[in-house]
Chain A
Amino acid sequence: MQTPIPLFPPNASSVATEMDLLYLFIVAVCGFFTILVTAMVVYFAIKYKRRHPDDVGEDIHGSLALELTWTIIPFILSLVMFVWGASLFYRLAKPPADAMDIFVVGKQWMWKVQHPEGVREINELHVPAGRNVRITLGSEDVLHDYSIPAFRVKMDAVPGKWTTMWFKATVPGVYHIFCAEYCGTKHSGMIGQVTVMTPQDYEIWLSGGRSSGSAVENGERLFAELACITCHKTDSSGRGPTLIGIFGSKVPLADGREVTADENYLRESIMDSQAKVVKGYQPIMPAFQGRVSEEHLLQLVAYIKTLKKK
């Protein structure tokens, strides 16, 4: 449909059509009620216009049946919106297991992107069409928000933790990226573009990018440089717990709790090592807050995730 002014952003991801349908459904419901009430009010104002200065209205106090009608019908319609919206939200919150990873770090005022293969970009993002992509978002300073309207997705980048979002781009092309959470002077300059490529073009692009080692390789190098390796050994002989097989496992803590070692747990244990001390170990690890950048953290965790039991 061609309108003089475009009413929809480009439709370039697997959820865009459903998002637009949900939007149009609510537009239809709300449009109906807007017209209904407006028509009632205008019609009553004309039909019951005061004829004589002393006229008063009829003695009508209300109607329980009508009150119930306009309580129950809006309630049911809003529940339909809730269920559809919650279902879409749930699917958008759970990245598919086969998604490829890309790391994005927001920083006043740029987006730094790392592909696992090692290619880096600033304010640009190249992704293949037809593949699920999981973005892990971090922030070096204040709140940001990675927003791609053509994909109908956005997520806050929150300093102090990582957040995730995912999408499956469908149509090759170039689309806007915006920072959607106010972050200071050049907030509206913290923009970029996402280039969706065919998988073949994406492979060619990846191999042509200047690579400075994959995320895992860089993480392994940091693991040695930061001397993590002196305490976290491959067996249980170190002063810290071994990290082999840690990712996704249940970790008993000194205070009796048990946590699942996900990305945010690993992140926190590096940055604020005293927050959750593993049972049976002394709280002797230094905190790396302020000593490791978000990008390096992402590389370290990417490496730790590869440490599997043989």
Chain B
Amino acid sequence: MTTAVAVAEERHSYLDAPYGIAAWLLTKDHKRIAMLYLISITVFFAVGGLFAAGVRLELLTPKGDFVTPDVYNKLFTLHGIVMIFFFLIPSIPATLGNFLIPIMCGTKDLAFPRINLLSWYLYVIGGLLAVGVIAGGGVDTGWTFYTPYSTTASTTNVALTGMAAFIAGFSSILTGFNFIVTVHRMRAPGLTWFRLPLFVWAHYATSLVMILGTPVIAITLTLMMAERTLGLAVFDPKIGGDPVLFQHLFWFYSHPAVYIMILPGMGVISEMVAAVSRKQVFGYSFVAFSSLAIAILGFLVWGHHLFVSSQSIYAGMVFSIITMLVAVPSAVKTFNWAATMYKGSVTWESPTYWVIGFMGLFLIGGLTGLFLATLGLDIHLTDTYFVVAHFHYIMVGGAIMAFLGGIHFWWPKMTGKMYPDAMGKVTAILVFVGFNLTFFPQFVLGYMGMPRRYHSYPEEWQVLNVLSTAGAGVLGLGYTLTFCYLVWSLFKGKTAPANPWGAKGLEWETSSPPPTFNFDADPVVTEPAYNYKPAQEVHVG
């Protein structure tokens, strides 16, 4: 390759001209929008992490002696709201999904580039309102906004917080809508549904949840705000409402929202496990359809949050058994990932560490869901630290491990730079160890009966809480280091080749970073995904 050609290639990368703030803030390029999202969610991740640090520091000692009860209640509430609505929900879809889906579909951009930009602005407006809530003294309802506390008793910025989540929700709806249309209408010639990367399948399933579920939380938050500010009687029993109705409406979205967080992560892992093993994903169609099965079943399990809420016991039984069914497609995926490595050619570069870390944590997170789905046992476990540990294993152990794994895997593609591979391994191990040290003791605390959202606790639980806080320190160090060397690599990292991992997929066929319209020539797809050993196209199942 001559120098002249290299310079010519560099000139039309999406990161190059047009330069300037305005060119970025008014961009319609899905890759630039993905980077805008990446920067903004990183800010919120840091903010949410600081709130978590406050919570863990308070719990270092049994007495409530670090902050006042009201401050503590605001810390865990803001931690939840910021992490869920402003980090986890947009994390993988709005960054990696935004960046990769058009490329994986072999097209120039998403179906509606302006709507894509609009979704980022809505996210930013929602985010600024959330910052306003923080600056204005916070909110103390818990991220769940349970009524009648949120509508009658709390004296904090509940309505403004509801509005922030409401607006951010629309950004999520628009992203989902854009993905669905793109996948249906804009696939490259030859790219049939069953040749799509599993990342695209997972995002398709996620998008269905986003556009069907998010309007319900918007309605629920609107009703909550209307009761709080206008006295509209919906949830407050003193004026004829039903507080449990709120829980039904809230979880009708918020349980599927868990799948908005984890399904894209499953898509990331499916890509990565194939690439690090250089092998076809085992049981492609089972992995693809298990994403859809999880998305659909996810809408039918909300009542498992209400087993002790005075919901009918027979409803409880129906919700319990459907929840058990969700375990099946999750198990199918896990076994298929493990089987993909069988007789593969497994690299020991840093992405593998993140993949294996994800599998370990997701496995524990998924399996501990069975304890909570089991009706009788849930009576003892619900509202305790067992629940806290379980959902952190899914949402931090699973979703964030997959997010960071995906960032490590596609960083060369997104930025054109390589990070030090050894650092990627060190932080994967730090995050894995720190995570387990933080959250595994919480399973034990939960079985002992320690309730959630407690500012102080009996002395006999201090040892486990100290372990947990120590783990949070290690975890924080892991995340901070990751941030540092990734930023360092932008300036000092080696230039990335087009395909540093020797992986299959349209994104690895274009340059790193890709040109503004992704491909120099419109791609035509002639083979199945992950076709490492060219052979006939086979569908199992």
Interface residues of A (CB under 8 A from B): 5-9, 18-19, 22-23, 26, 29-30, 33-34, 37-38, 40-42, 44-45, 48-51, 53-64, 66-67, 70-71, 74-75, 78-79, 81-82, 84-93, 108, 141-143, 145, 147, 149-150, 152-156, 158-161, 163, 176, 178-189, 272, 289-290
Contacts and interface: CB of A to CB of B under 8 A. Distances in A.
User: Which 10 A-B residue pairings sit nearest by Cβ, starting from the closest?
Assistant: A160-B237, A149-B449, A88-B376, A57-B279, A85-B374, A89-B375, A62-B540, A57-B344, A44-B341, A62-B283
B346 to A, nearest CB: 5
B403 interface: no
Interface string B404-427: 000000000000000000000000
A145 B280 CA distance: 50
B309 interface: yes
A142 B220 CA distance: 18
B192 interface: no
Interface string B320-349: 110011011001101111110111111110
B12 interface: no
B456 A188 contact: yes
B343 A48 contact: yes
A6 B447 CA distance: 10
A91 B375 CA distance: 11
A29 B240 CA distance: 46
A5 B440 CA distance: 14
Contact of A178 (B278, B336, B449, B541): B449
Contacts of A63: 282-283, 540
26 contacts: A7-B448, A8-B447, A33-B367, A41-B338, A44-B341, A48-B344, A53-B502, A56-B278, A57-B343, A59-B280, A60-B282, A63-B540, A67-B540, A78-B370, A81-B374, A82-B373, A85-B320, A86-B317, A89-B307, A141-B152, A155-B308, A155-B379, A158-B309, A178-B451, A182-B146, A184-B140
B328 A38 contact: no
A71 B289 CA distance: 13
Contacts of B320: 82, 85-86, 89
Contacts of A19: 376-377, 380
A3 B342 CA distance: 39
A151 to B, nearest CB: 9
Contacts of B376: 18-19, 22, 84-89, 91-92
B248 to A, nearest CB: 13
B70 interface: yes
Contacts of B238: 159-160, 289-290
Given A33-B363, A160-B243, A161-B310, A182 B448 contact: no
B73 A56 contact: no
Most buried by B among A6, A156, A176: A156
Contacts of B140: 184-185
Nearest to A74: B331
Contact of B384 (A26, A74, A180): A180
A192 to B, nearest CB: 12
A54 B278 CA distance: 10
A186 B464 CA distance: 23
Interface string B378-390: 1110111000000
A85 B378 contact: yes
Interface string B350-393: 00100010011001100110110111111110111000000000
Nearest to B242: A160
Given A38-B359, A152-B379, 11 more contacts: A5-B464, A7-B448, A23-B447, A26-B370, A56-B533, A85-B376, A85-B378, A141-B153, A159-B148, A182-B142, A188-B455
Interface in B518-541: 532-533, 535, 538-541
B487 to A, nearest CB: 29
Nearest to B456: A188
A67 B343 contact: no
Contacts of B375: 82, 85-86, 88-89
Contacts of A182: 73, 142, 144, 146, 149, 452-453
Given A41-B356, A71-B332, A180-B451, A55 B345 contact: yes
Nearest to A7: B444
A70 B332 contact: yes
A56 to B, nearest CB: 4
A273 B377 CA distance: 38
Most buried by B among A23, A29, A34, A70: A70
Contacts of A75: 325, 328
B277 A188 contact: no
Contacts of A91: 376
B313 interface: yes
B232 interface: no
A155 B331 CA distance: 32
B380 A153 contact: yes
B20 interface: no
A63 B539 CA distance: 10
Nearest to A52: B345
